[in-house]
Every structure is written in C-alpha cells, then in structure tokens.
Amino acid sequence: MTSMDGSAFPAAWPERIRALARGELEVVAPRAAATVLLLRDGPGGEPLVHMLRRRTSMAFAGGAYAYPGGGVDPRDEREVRWAGPGPAHWAEVLGVPEARAQAVVCAAVRETFEESGVLLAGPHDGTVVADTTGEDWERDRQALVTRDLGFADFLAGRGLALRSDLLAPWARWITPEFEERRYDTWFFLARLPEGQRTRDVSGEADRTVWLAPGEGVAGYERGEMVMLPPTVTTLRALLPYPTADAALAAAPGRDLAPVLARAELDAAGDVVLTWPGHDEFTRVVRAAGESR
C-alpha cells in the first residue's frame, strides 16, 4: 500500500502483521547495513544530496528513492588500513562491538563505491582518491559488486586507507519485525570528495539525482517520489542546515537510538502501524483491507 504522499508500505504487510500477532510468523534477524547521504554544495552554497531510485523489480523497496547503501559483507570485518577514528571509536559511537562497528563503516564506504562510484579512501591521512572513473577502477568496482573481491583486498591492492573521518553518523533505523528482509541500518553523511563525481552505475537503480533536501521532501509530500520512512525522515533532518558543512558539523550530536516500527491489532482486528516518535507514518489497515 502507498499513501497519498510518497510513503511506501508493501501490500503484504497487513497479513504478515496479523500472522505475527497470532504467533505464526518467524521473525527474521536483521542484517547489519549502512547507507550514506552524499552531500555537495549547490549553486548557491546550499546542500545537495545524491539519491537513486530503486528499480521496480527489486524485492526490497522497489520504485522507492534511497541513498547508496546495503548490507554488511562478512569480509567487511577483515582488518583494513584506517585514516581517521578507528574501530574502537566507532564501536562507542554506534553502540556495538568493535568487529561490528568496523564492518558497518567498511560497508558504508564499500557500498557507496559500488553504487555511486565514489570512494572515501586515500593513500595517506588527509588525502582522498581524486578520480575513480578509469577502466581499472570499474573492473574493481564490478568485482566488489559480485563479491569476487573483498573490500580489504581491494584497498590493500591499491595501497589505500579507508577515510573513516569523512563519515558522520546521522541515524539508525531497524526494519520492522514483520518484514521478510530486515536490516539494522546506520545512516551516515559524507561530503563528495573533491575531484570525484557520482556515476549511474548501480544495477539496482533506474535513476540517480542530486537534489536539495527541500526538493526531495516536497516531491515526497506531493506523492511524486516514493520513499520509505527512514529515507524521508533523514532527508528532512537536513532541512535546517544552509550548507553541507553545517550538516556535517551537526552530526556528532545526533541521536542514534534505533527506530523500530510497532504493529498492533486493535479490538476490531484492524492493524495499527506506528513508528515511535514519527506519528506521520502511523497507518491503520482495517480488517476489510482499507487503510488510512
């Protein structure tokens, strides 16, 4: 089901929620994941964010606008050379063990490269790769996508260090318990490195755009851009900031407590779906199938 705005709610949710309430649904453990809001300055200095529209054929969030990101690869826990805060720092920030923190940060950088061609890495502290558009880069990117190449081996082979200091934590959302595919996703901000550019290389997307957060939110509210609650919420959180640097500077104070949807059956058998702290996403799906 999709509401009159752009929020996407899969048609299978009501029955899965009812099955969960009856104790007939096995809850899938969420997979650790990371996604990155890439920012750059617009013509007037305002922040622009990179978004991609997932292909309608995708099993998860098909047709919805999202940011580059994806699930952790087990090899993301392998040791890599860091330039910036190490796993111990990120473990404290993210509230998870060091191995999980490293995997999440690596996944954020790896998935951004896989889905946009942007690489947050450089040969030394304070440096970043200037151009990732050559054929050799594309071969490595494809090998990462197919999992023929691990991220640690990719960085080591090119003599690069992961620039963890270019990431700024922004939010954490966990896919509801009644979903078939669940993710425990950390959202990060990162500025587009100088000299690099995003490329339409994701096999999961049919469109990529750079747009002002207000433009994206307006498109969502008009029903022209479909977004899941975490996407439009993290996009809205950028609205107060006049520049990309201002948003990045505000990130250390962000609340990273996970947001997890709740679903209940009321006395009439209707499904009531809520996201704590985000009342706009509340939906009531009546037993007869209508929603409001």
Is 9 within the bounds of a domain? no
Q: State how beta strands 161-162 and 262-265 pair.
A: unpaired
Comparison of pLDDT for 268 and 250, the residue scoring more: 250
CATH of the domain at 147: 3.90.79.10
Band of pLDDT at residue 2, cut at 50, 70 and 90: very low
Residue from 5, 9, 18, 4 nearest 286 by CA: 18
- pTM comes to 0.89
Residue from 168, 206, 209 nearest 190 by CA: 168
The answer to which of 45-59, 67-81, 149-163, 201-215 has the lowest mean pLDDT is 45-59
Contacts of 266 (CB under 8 A, 6+ apart): 272
For residue range 252-283, what is the model confidence (pLDDT) as tens digits?
989 999 999 888 878 787 888 888 889 888 88
Residue 47: CB atoms within 10 Å: 24
Integer CA distances (angstroms), 40 to 37, 49, 195, 247, in order:
10, 7, 12, 11
Domain tally, the chain:
1
The pLDDT of residue 202 is 66
Is 278 within the bounds of a domain? no
Band of pLDDT at residue 1, cut at 50, 70 and 90: very low
Band of pLDDT at residue 166, cut at 50, 70 and 90: very high
Is 88 within the bounds of a domain? yes
Does the pLDDT at position 290 exceed 80?
Answer: no
Alpha-carbon dihedral sign for residues 274, 276, 279, 281:
negative
Percentage of the chain beyond pLDDT 90 is 63
The pLDDT of residue 30 is 93
The domain of 63 spans 29-259
Is 214 within the bounds of a domain? yes
Is 270 within the bounds of a domain? no
Residue from 149, 80, 87 nearest 121 by CA: 80
The answer to which of 34-43, 172-181, 207-216 has the lowest mean pLDDT is 172-181
Is 138 within the bounds of a domain? yes
For residue range 96-107, what is the model confidence (pLDDT) as tens digits?
999 999 999 999
